[in-house]
Structures are given as C-alpha cells and as structure tokens.
A = this chain, B = another copy of it.
Amino acid sequence: MAQKITLKKIAKDLKVSISTVSKALRDSHEISMETRDKIKEYAREFNYKPNSIALSLKNQKTKKIGIIIPEIVHHFFATVISGVERVANEKGYQVIITLSGESFDKEVVNMDMLANGSIDGFIMSLSKETMEKQDFHHLREVTNQGMPVVMFDRVSNDISCDKVIIDDVAAGHEATEFLLRKGRKRLGIISTVDYVNVGRLRSQGFKQALQQRGFEVEDRQFLKIEDIDSCEKDIENFVVNNNFDAIVAVNELFAVMASKALQKAGKKIPEDVAIVAFTDGILSKFASPTLTTIGQNGEEMGGVAAAILIEKLESKNHDNEIYETVIVKTTLIERESTP
C-alpha cells in the first residue's frame, strides 16, 4: 500500500530540493540545523532507507559478493558459506549464492548472470565437470574484466587468482602417518577420480607416507569413486575383499559406508580396521562408531576467502596483480574409529 519513499518524495513534500534532502540526511554542514532536523524527522517517520540499487549504480559497486559452489546440501560447502557470510556481513557485504550442481554449463551461466554488475567479486569452488573438461574460459573472461575471484577447495593452477585451500597432500600424509603410528600396516584409501584435485592430492599424500615408511604401494590399495550415488557396492567390495587393517576416506560419506560394510562383514572398528575420514561434519560426530577425521575448517576457509576478496575490493591500486594462496590448517580430530 504505502508507496516507496524516496528523496524526491521527501523533497516535494517539504518543498525543498532533492540535494537539500540528501545533504540533510548525511548531516552536511551546508544545511541549517532547522531544515536538517525537519528533514530527518520526516525521513524517520516515513522510514526512509536509501535505495541500494541507485547507490550501486552511482558508486559502481554493489557491496555484494557472489558464491558459486557445486552443491549446498553438503556439510563442507554449507560451512564455507557460513564463514563467508559471517565476515561479509561484518564488513557490510551481502552474499549471493548460486549452485552449479557439478555442471559446467550451469557454472558458466551463473557466472555470466552475476558478472554483469550484480556483484563486486566471486568466491567459488569448481564443479566436477569443469575440472574434468579443464575449460576455464568463463573464469578468464571475468578476471580479464578486472573482477576479483577467490577460489577455494576445488581450485585450478591454470587460472591465476587468490586461492584458499588446505594442503591436501600434507593432510593425506598426516592421516596415513597417524594410522601407521598406531601400528597399522595394511592400508587402503577410498578417493575420488583423479581429476578432482582434492582426491588426487590426498591420495598422493597417502602414497608418500607409506613410501617414506618403506612400504610397497600397490594399485589395489586405491579405490577411486566416480559416481557418488552408486558407490556403495564398490566400497563394500573394496573394504571386504582386501584384508585392510586401516582405511583412509577422502570424505565422511565414503568413510561411513566403509564402516558399515565392515561391521556387516563382522569386523570390529577400530580393533580390526581403523578409519580416518576427511571433512569433520555431522556424520563423523554421530556415526557408530564416531569417526576420526581430518577437519577442513570450512568455516575458516570461507571467512578467509571473504576477507581476501573484500581486501582486494577495497584496495586502491586496482592493478595489483599479486595473488596469494592461503593454506588453511587442518585439524585431526580423534574419535572412536581409531584406537
């Protein structure tokens, strides 16, 4: 019902000019106390709030940052968003979220939609399909326009921008070494296909840790999941048919599937088989047994990514071509799945 109240309307009602109203509301000394008070009271009464679209147009900045992630129904990404949102809000920015659904085309479309002035900068994690195709033209297009991009988790070396990651190799190494120190000798890893960098790198750390201890590393120790929706049988076969005494899983889901399959086969966890998972989500805390995990601190990653992006947005010299890669520390959280 009540019309949107604008400077123009206030000006007309109070019989002053638009500039006077604008200045009065910003407490300009150019306007007499008398008129200032009159205008401010009127504005308060009618609950005037400056139109943010007009401000965006005028200032050539939107105070919004765009996030593109593969999925939101995924604990890790949800925590990252939570972190982004926290620091963004602190600094007066809003967060626009779009989902690629692991699809390259949707990623491109969403980027295009946001890159036309809707936002000031991007925070994103690549879709699986994008990593497979290795096609980054949409990212180049955006960065070439001078719009800052911060990538996290699923990043690419082919594109130069700020990045926030964990040291996946070191984390894979740490998980493995942790199990080895517990005296385990027959290790297996459940990972993703190699083009997903986090899976590849964690596997690499796994391999390194074993080799440093003088173990032979064979292909049968590696299971690489392609499709997350139909991997249950594969995981069951993998853990039951190989006489492992410890399993590393690159995410919670794989870990809990392995855990269940092993228990079904009569194995005891952690006595017979120990398990270390990645991503310290809700599953790890409430599975039976609870899972020892390498926490990725998604909240922190999101916060750091947002801080870097905003820093860049508000820095004066725009041609600052120095990009940083922040490595967020992982945290090993011991629970029941390891002795």
Contact = CB atoms under 8 A, between A and B. Distances in A.
A85 interface: yes
A97 B99 contact: no
Interface in A51-66: 51-54, 56-57, 62, 64
Contact of A52 (B89, B118, B257): B118
Contact of A81 (B72, B141, B282): B72
B2 A118 contact: no
A1 interface: yes
A96 B96 contact: yes
A98 interface: yes
B51 A116 contact: yes
B4 A145 contact: yes
Contacts of A145: 2, 4
Query: Assembly of this chain: how many copies?
Result: 2
Contacts of A146: 1-2, 4
A97 B81 contact: yes
Contacts of A52: 113, 116-118
Contact of A73 (B51, B82, B117, B283): B82
A18 to B, nearest CB: 16
A98 B114 CA distance: 17
Interface string A41-78: 00000010111111011000010100000011111001
Contacts of A257: 286
24 contacts: A2-B145, A49-B112, A49-B116, A53-B53, A64-B96, A64-B118, A72-B72, A73-B82, A75-B282, A78-B78, A81-B97, A82-B99, A85-B99, A89-B98, A94-B96, A94-B113, A95-B96, A96-B96, A253-B286, A260-B286, A282-B282, A282-B283, A283-B286, A286-B287
